[in-house]
């Protein structure tokens, strides 16, 4: 069998796709790079917003046409597959296999009965499976929990991924060992709400550490770089901030979604914290990790959001001074309380507010990034950049970086780089040696190819 996977959505979905691919390979399948080569195509779906669902519909439409011309098995997994909406889409587009997020290890049984229409539910034994490490990669994801016990009114995750289930620390550390043996340098701990790790359904699990304790345990493994996502401010504690500052491997990057700067909107979202409480967490982070790079999520145009509410979000952005933000127009999702009970705002209004927020985000990103110009940063280079003679990677603060290839640094790895220029969304630099001197650039370096011939090209 020749199989091809298409993945939409978050880092959790990327991890799940890797897990399923490992299952398919163990069953004897060959993973191929395109639909044309495959006789089994599996789509890992996202249902958090409407746009990824539209993409799935479009791809399934093309696959149905392909299926009419040759033998092809179509599979759909992930969050959308768990919903009635997804099951209706699957029937419409003649999907053969349907797997919910907790049934990924059933892929073999599903393929054996591919003439049937499958709709499988959550199974906790997923946490006992350790997928093989990624081949030839310095970065990896490591799931520490699944599901969520919060019920934000806009969020479909509790419906698609179920209640929170923390993975046993022994399983986490075993998988971490396989990643270290494979040469991984940076691991991202994944969960819908990592701050609540070890407290499923609000109760402390016997024998499980808190998330702060888990950070320290992972840091003691010898992994050079640790990141984590996603954090819910309701469960953030100062102990987590302290563990970040006390664990050298934890990167100076914190993603703490706020969603809105208005207390009234936060209550309508059922976020369970106030603006003041959120700012307390920001202060704790900066106390224990003064150089932290701060990122957030913001939903613009939530039902009932007034201009005053939106101004509260803009003022919060200024008060925190975020380095970056993921900004979204509110997308009503069937099955959520906000879809059932709140009236959506006009799209034109939401779009106009988003544009104003983007302007503010670019201003702050430019200002915050400029402070790194002339500094030396540890950079994880992943491989060739978009232009010849260059490598691309990112700093511990998650800033994208482009550098010219240099003698002693022709491929992926951890290096030191002096940042020579910054834009709101990119760093440019030069690799340096232990003596602080720039490494000699390889002969095929072409500044014009990277748009580096003029500072104006980087603005």
Return binding residues.
10, 46, 79, 148, 152, 155
DSSP secondary structure letters along 350-396 = HHHHHHHHHHHHHHHHHHHHHTTTT-EEEEEEEEE-SSTTEEEEEET
* Residue 332 · residue 304 · CB < 8 Å: no
The contacts of residue 408 (CB under 8 Å, 6+ apart) are 431, 433, 439
* Structure tokens that stand for 69 in this block: 């011309």
Extract the annotated binding site for [4Fe-4S] cluster.
Answer: 10, 46, 79, 148, 152, 155
Write down the residue that tokens 């969960």 correspond to: 191
CA 27, chain centre distance (Å): 28
Write down the residue that tokens 């888990």 correspond to: 214
* Structure tokens that stand for 341 in this block: 């009970």
Cα–Cα distance measured from residue 242 to residue 289, given in angstroms and rounded to the nearest whole number:
8
If we measure between CA atoms, which residue out of 83, 82, 65 comes closest to residue 74?
65
Q: Is 338 exposed, middle or buried (0-12, 13-18, 19+ CB in 10 A)?
A: buried
* Structure tokens that stand for 227 in this block: 């990141």
If we measure between CA atoms, which residue out of 419, 407, 391 comes closest to residue 443?
407
Sign of CA pseudo-dihedral 142, 145, 147, 148: negative
Cα–Cα distance measured from residue 279 to residue 51, given in angstroms and rounded to the nearest whole number:
31
At residue 305's C-alpha, the angle toward residues 336 and 268, to 5°, is 45
If we measure between CA atoms, which residue out of 393, 303, 380 comes closest to residue 344?
303
């Amino acid at each position: 069998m020749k199989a091809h996977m298409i993945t939409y959505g978050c880092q959790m979905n990327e991890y799940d796709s890797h897990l399923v691919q490992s299952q398919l390979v163990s069953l004897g399948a060959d993973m191929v790079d395109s639909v044309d080569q495959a006789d089994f195509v599996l789509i890992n779906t996202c249902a958090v917003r409407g746009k990824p669902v539209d993409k799935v519909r479009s791809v399934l439409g093309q696959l149905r046409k392909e299926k009419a011309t040759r033998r092809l098995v179509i599979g759909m997994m992930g969050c959308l597959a768990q919903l009635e909406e997804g099951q209706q889409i699957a029937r419409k587009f003649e999907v053969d296999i349907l797997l919910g997020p907790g049934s990924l290890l059933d892929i073999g049984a599903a393929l054996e009965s591919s003439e049937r229409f499958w709709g499988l539910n959550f199974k906790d034994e997923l946490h006992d499976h350790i997928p093989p490490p990624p081949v030839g990669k310095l970065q990896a994801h490591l799931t520490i929990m699944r599901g969520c016990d919060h019920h934000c009114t806009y969020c479909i995750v509790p419906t698609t991924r179920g209640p929170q289930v923390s993975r046993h620390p022994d399983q986490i550390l075993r998988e971490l060992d396989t990643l270290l043996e494979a040469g991984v340098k940076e691991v991202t701990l994944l969960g819908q709400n990592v701050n609540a790790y070890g407290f499923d359904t609000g109760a402390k699990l016997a024998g499980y550490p808190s998330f702060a304790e888990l950070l320290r345990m992972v840091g003691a493994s010898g992994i050079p770089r640790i990141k984590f996502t996603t954090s819910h401010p309701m469960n953030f504690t100062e102990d987590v901030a302290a563990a970040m500052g006390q664990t050298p491997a934890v990167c100076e990057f914190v993603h703490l979604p706020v969603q809105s700067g208005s207390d009234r909107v936060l209550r309508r979202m059922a976020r369970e914290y106030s603006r003041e409480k959120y700012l307390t967490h920001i202060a704790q982070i900066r106390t224990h990790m003064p150089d932290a790079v701060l990122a957030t999520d913001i939903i613009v145009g939530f039902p009932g959001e007034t201009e005053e509410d939106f101004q509260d979000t803009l003022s919060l952005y200024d008060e925190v001074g975020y380095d970056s933000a993921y900004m979204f127009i509110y997308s009503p999702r069937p099955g959520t309380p906000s879809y059932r009970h709140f009236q959506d705002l006009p799209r034109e209004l939401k779009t106009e507010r988003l544009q104003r927020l983007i302007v503010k985000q670019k201003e702050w990103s430019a200002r915050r990034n400029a402070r790194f110009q002339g500094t030396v940063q540890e950079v994880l280079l992943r491989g060739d950049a978009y232009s010849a003679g260059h490598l691309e990677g990112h700093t511990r603060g998650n800033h994208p970086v482009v550098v010219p290839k240099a003698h002693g640094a022709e491929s992926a790895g951890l290096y030191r780089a002096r940042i020579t220029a910054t834009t709101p969304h990119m760093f440019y630099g030069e690799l340096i040696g232990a003596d602080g001197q720039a490494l000699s650039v390889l002969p095929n370096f072409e500044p014009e190819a990277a748009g580096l011939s003029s500072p104006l090209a980087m603005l």
